[in-house]
Amino acid sequence: MRFANVGWMLFAFALVIASLVQPPAPLPQPGQNRPGAPAPQHQPGQTRPSPGAPATGQTAPAPQLVSKADFTRLLVAAAVERPKHEVTYDPGYVGINYPGGDVPANAGVCSDEIIRVYRAAGVDLQKEVHEDMVRDLTAYPLSRWKQKRPDRNIDHRRVPNLMVFFSRHGEDLPVSSRAEDYLPGDLVTWDLGNGAVHIGMVVDQKAVLTGRNMIVHNIGAGPKMEDVLFDWKVTGHYRYYGPRPAARTTGGSFR
């Protein structure tokens, strides 16, 4: 009997040792359920998170807003890139698509450079000018070309029409003899004499000799970036950031 009691004691002691050696089960991490516990139920009035939704405490990304400064940077970058293109000066009338139409990429005049710069920034001047002319045809100098109705193939390519459009829908700024008044992204028009007019865009590249912001334009030899701000009589100075946010079909809205 004494040996039997000793056997039971040894067996119990072995069980205690085994329980001490076995590692404890890992504790569940925050947000995890214990094994075998039921999944948490959504209470009435709570919204079930959708796949890909931001975690609690994180802010969902807001809709993209484009500031005037950001839009100007887009314009200037597109303008600075234009002199890399080979373009033959060709003022001929060309039938083009609408909207988003353009003359052949290797052809064009000064206004086509402005059109292409704005289109690179998400603004279609062909569409904007045409729609404005349809709304108020009398605001535009159509008699200059003996024209009685809008022509979406050519109207936006004519500098006098662009001058009217920019003054109506952009900022019509004073003409100044101070170079510092002309900022990157500004539009400048000139009178070349004998009824010829010209347009270009101010960029953020400085001329070495004068320190002035240079102009991207095409006066006959293709798109160039040159220090020509005061080479001709300045007749217009504008800033245009595109149509109002509610009317924009591409890009973001302005802050």
On the 0-12 / 13-18 / 19+ scale of CB atoms within 10 A, 183 is middle
What is the structure's pLDDT at 45? 39
On the 0-12 / 13-18 / 19+ scale of CB atoms within 10 A, 232 is middle
How far apart (Å, rounded) are the C-alpha atoms in residues 95 and 214? 32
What is the structure's pLDDT at 215? 98
Q: Amino acid letter at 244?
A: R
What is the structure's pLDDT at 15? 53
Q: Amino acid letter at 213?
A: N
Sign of CA dihedral 22, 24, 25, 26: negative
What is the structure's pLDDT at 43? 43
How far apart (Å, rounded) are the C-alpha atoms in residues 254 and 74? 13
- Mean pLDDT confidence for 128-141: 98
Indicate the fold that domain 65-254 takes in CATH: endopeptidase fold (from Nostoc punctiforme) (3.90.1720)
Structure tokens at 84: 């890399």
* Cβ neighbours of 49 (radius 10 Å): 11
Per-residue model confidence as pLDDT tens digits over 164-176: 999 999 999 999 9
pLDDT band at residue 66, thresholds of 50, 70 and 90?
A: confident
How far apart (Å, rounded) are the C-alpha atoms in residues 25 and 147? 88
How far apart (Å, rounded) are the C-alpha atoms in residues 154 and 56? 55
Per-residue model confidence as pLDDT tens digits over 99-124: 999 999 999 999 999 999 999 999 99
What is the structure's pLDDT at 46? 42
* Bridge partner residues of 233 (DSSP): 191
Lowest pLDDT segment from 17-21, 24-28, 58-62, 178-182: 58-62
Measuring CA to CA, which residue among 208, 241, 250 is closest to residue 73? Answer: 241
Per-residue model confidence as pLDDT tens digits over 209-250: 999 999 999 999 999 999 999 999 999 999 999 997 654 444
Residue 142 confidence (pLDDT) above 50: yes
Which residues fall within 8 angstroms of residue 113, CB to CB, at 6 or more apart?
A: 79, 82, 87, 200, 201, 216, 217, 218, 223
Q: Amino acid letter at 169?
A: H
Domain residue limits, the chain: 65-254
**CA distances (Å), 156 to each of 43, 44, 99, 191, in order?**
60, 58, 12, 18
How far apart (Å, rounded) are the C-alpha atoms in residues 177 and 209? 17
Please report where in the chains the tokens 């000139």 appear, as a residue: 190
